[in-house]
Amino acid sequence: MSSPPYTPLGTQYEHPIQGHEMGDYSSSTASDKRAFAQGNLIPARGRTSWILDGWIWEILGLILSICCLGALIGILIWVNGKPLSDWDVPISLNATVAVFSTVIKSVLLMVVAECISQLKWFHFGRMHTLYDMELFDQASRGPYGSMILLLKVRNVLAWLGAIITIVALAIDPFSQQILAFPQRDVVQNNASVAKFGFSHSFYSGAIASGLGGFGYYGQQWAQDVQMRGAIARGLYGIDVSPQFTCASSCTWPGPYVTLGYTSTCQNVTEASLKTMKCGRDKGGGGSVCNMTTPRGIDLQVVFIPTEIATVLYVNSTAEMMHFRFDANQNVRANASNEVIAFAVYQRNAKDAENPPTNVTAAQEIVECQIRHVAHKYSNLSTSGPTLNIGKTEVIDLPVGIYEDRPDRPIWFNHTDLPALSINAVDWQSVQDYLLRGIFNGTIFAGGQPSQEAIVQAAGFFGKNVTSIVERMTASMTERLRTGPQQQAATGITMGSQPFVHVRWVWMSLSIITAVLVALLLLATALYRGNGRETALWKSSAAALLFYQLEGWQSNAVIPTRTVLEEQTKVLRAKLDNKGTMSFTAG
């Protein structure tokens, strides 16, 4: 069956509008419609009416997008730098930004599409291939057509519209980068979770052993075993980190004063060895060497060939409290702030096969003292499970004064400090334990040393004595600080909370796009092609049905879109208004 003959556009359905001058038909009145039906001229309208009436929806769309952009910027200014929790709107902040960005992008692209569509008619004010009409139409639909338009059509305004369409693809991913939610530490109101203890006094509950008189040594069954544990932790390197309570991150400005201990050590090897005097042991087969440290602490080194040799010797001394009666028959006593002084002799075990000499090589003697002091802490903070003490001031205390009353305090009075005290039984119990149980013992190379000596002195063997004693006094201070009389320093609890941070650089694309669209709309609305107005048809497909395509004939139906597209690349046309409005083949 043969195909029906091809009828050129407009030859079968010619319209009376042919031959009329260009006019604005976007807002026709009833009289305009009657004139149009009768083939009469519809009068052209003024420029202001043409812009406002012909572009009213695009202008409203641009205004809507600018209003949304302004609202979004206002919201971002308001939330910037604030906690995310301040945003109590049912829709999330990210979703709010996404909604506004989508509206802005959609409306702007609608305006751009109409501008590109109108530029199509301006473009055909001169002779061009019909294929350009297809390119403009595709460009008004999206970024793919816009890229093709950039490559194949020379039209500056159309290029601007195409570039805007392509660039607008990035508005959505850019909007996702606008907001960041960094975590910041903020003060929390729950102050009960930030606790740091300090103590101005200490009484463990130890009971005096004396049945009468001044017996102030503690009962063996009622002494402070926690203090003994603190001493052992320091001696054997067990963790002695300060205790505190903090649920997250806390600070304590301070200062806080607590009763505690400190130590001072110095190497006295050379001075002590100068006092060394050696003689035969009782068995006559070896030698015994005695020496004295600058503090008067006696040390002894034994050497019996092929049997034993001293590799570590610890000895100590302490000033005891001296009790007396005053005029009113009240017990009085002074207590030195020094608890104990001791010395540690060490010899390299590899050198133990040789008799001791006064040569310092392979030998070391360290002399130390432990005393009561006040610790003043300032600027404390936590870092995870660790307490960071910004500043620690160690303040020496005067001689302690014993007061005869049931709780038996020893007062350390300092004009710049609060009243500090320790129970006399606890004071003497600590001193006695250090004197007899820790800083007293010998370890030999060879022979069979007693288990007691190993326990007492082994913690120092081959170790840095100064570090051990510092660790020990820190642990002892921790016991006083967290003892039964501790006071709680309430700190500032810091909690991690998300805040809103606006990265304005990612907002720039929407702002620039809106400005470019406004310029494109203004330029398109004011455009004059060849010095005359052009029909304001924009994206209307009906416009092609009103005007015929002249200059060629075809007797066959164009079967496919591909063939149709090839025809448009061959045929050239322009929109002419010289007496008649038509597309004319070039």
- Residue 550: pLDDT band (50, 70, 90) is low
**Percent of the chain scored above 90 by pLDDT?**
38
Residue 104, pLDDT above cutoff 80: yes
Q: How far apart are CA 413 and CA 422, in angstroms?
A: 12
What pLDDT, in 10s, does the model give residues 270-328?
A: 999 999 998 887 766 788 999 999 999 999 998 888 788 888 899 999 887 766 656 56
Strand residues in 510-553 grouped as ranges (E): 549-550
Distances from the Cα of 476 to the Cα of 131, 242, 481, 574, angstroms = 94, 11, 9, 101
Please name the residue ranges forming H helices in 55-92.
Answer: 56-79
Higher pLDDT, 572 or 7: 572
What mean pLDDT comes out for the span 183-188?
Answer: 84
Q: What is the pLDDT of residue 254?
A: 78
Cβ-based neighbour number of residue 479 at 10 Å: 23
Q: What is the pLDDT of residue 560?
A: 72
Residue indicated by tokens 């203090």 = 227
Q: How far apart are CA 366 and CA 439, in angstroms?
A: 12
Cβ-based neighbour number of residue 513 at 10 Å: 24
Q: What is the pLDDT of residue 259?
A: 94
Question: Is the bond into 43 cis (omega within 30 degrees of 0)?
Answer: no
- Inter-residue contact 112 to 520 (CB < 8 Å): yes
Residue 37, pLDDT above cutoff 80: no
Q: What is the pLDDT of residue 352?
A: 73
Which value, to the nearest 10 degrees, does the dihedral of the CA atoms of residues 284, 285, 286, 290 take? -10
- Chain-centroid distance, C-alpha 407: 51
Q: How far apart are CA 301 and CA 170, in angstroms?
A: 85
Q: Which of 60-69, 202-211, 241-250 reaches the highest mean pLDDT?
A: 60-69
What mean pLDDT comes out for the span 13-21?
Answer: 38
Residue indicated by tokens 């729950």 = 190
- Inter-residue contact 231 to 476 (CB < 8 Å): yes
For strands 386-396 and 441-445, give the pairing: unpaired
Nearest partner of 11 among 555, 558, 586, judged by Cα: 555
Q: What is the pLDDT of residue 454?
A: 56
Q: What are phi and psi of 292, to 5 degrees?
A: -135, 135
**Percent of the chain scored above 70 by pLDDT?**
75
- Residue 176: pLDDT band (50, 70, 90) is very high
- Chain-centroid distance, C-alpha 366: 47
Residue 38, pLDDT above cutoff 80: no
What mean pLDDT comes out for the span 33-53?
Answer: 52
Residue 173's contacts (CB-CB under 8 Å, 6 or more residues apart) are none
Please name the residue ranges forming H helices in 124-203.
Answer: 131-139, 143-152, 156-167, 171-176
Q: What are phi and psi of 171, to 5 degrees?
A: -60, -45
What pLDDT, in 10s, does the model give residues 363-393?
A: 899 999 999 999 999 998 887 788 888 888 9
Higher pLDDT, 428 or 395: 395
Tokens of residue 524, six digits: 């398109």
Q: What is the pLDDT of residue 167?
A: 95
Residue 25, pLDDT above cutoff 60: no
Task: Mean pLDDT check: name the lowest of 43-47, 210-214, 427-431, 539-543.
Answer: 210-214
Share of the chain residues as helix, strand and coil, in percent rounded to the nearest 5: 35, 25, 35
Residue 90, pLDDT above cutoff 70: yes
Q: What is the pLDDT of residue 197?
A: 87
In DSSP notation, 1-20 reads -PPPPP--TTTSS--TTTTP
What pLDDT, in 10s, does the model give residues 486-533?
A: 898 888 888 788 999 999 999 999 999 999 999 999 999 888 655 555
Q: What is the 3-state secondary structure (H, E, C) of 473-499?
A: HHHHHHHHHCCCCCEEEECEEEEEEEE
What pLDDT, in 10s, does the model give residues 442-497?
A: 888 876 655 555 556 667 877 889 999 999 999 999 999 999 998 988 888 887 88
Higher pLDDT, 102 or 2: 102
Cβ-based neighbour number of residue 92 at 10 Å: 11
Q: What is the pLDDT of residue 213?
A: 42
Q: What are phi and psi of 316, to 5 degrees?
A: -145, 165
Q: How far apart are CA 425 and CA 336, in angstroms?
A: 14
Summary mean pLDDT of the chain? 80
For strands 128-129 and 572-573, give the pairing: antiparallel
Q: What is the pLDDT of residue 455?
A: 56
Q: How far apart are CA 248 and CA 493, in angstroms?
A: 7
Q: How far apart are CA 339 and CA 399, in angstroms?
A: 11
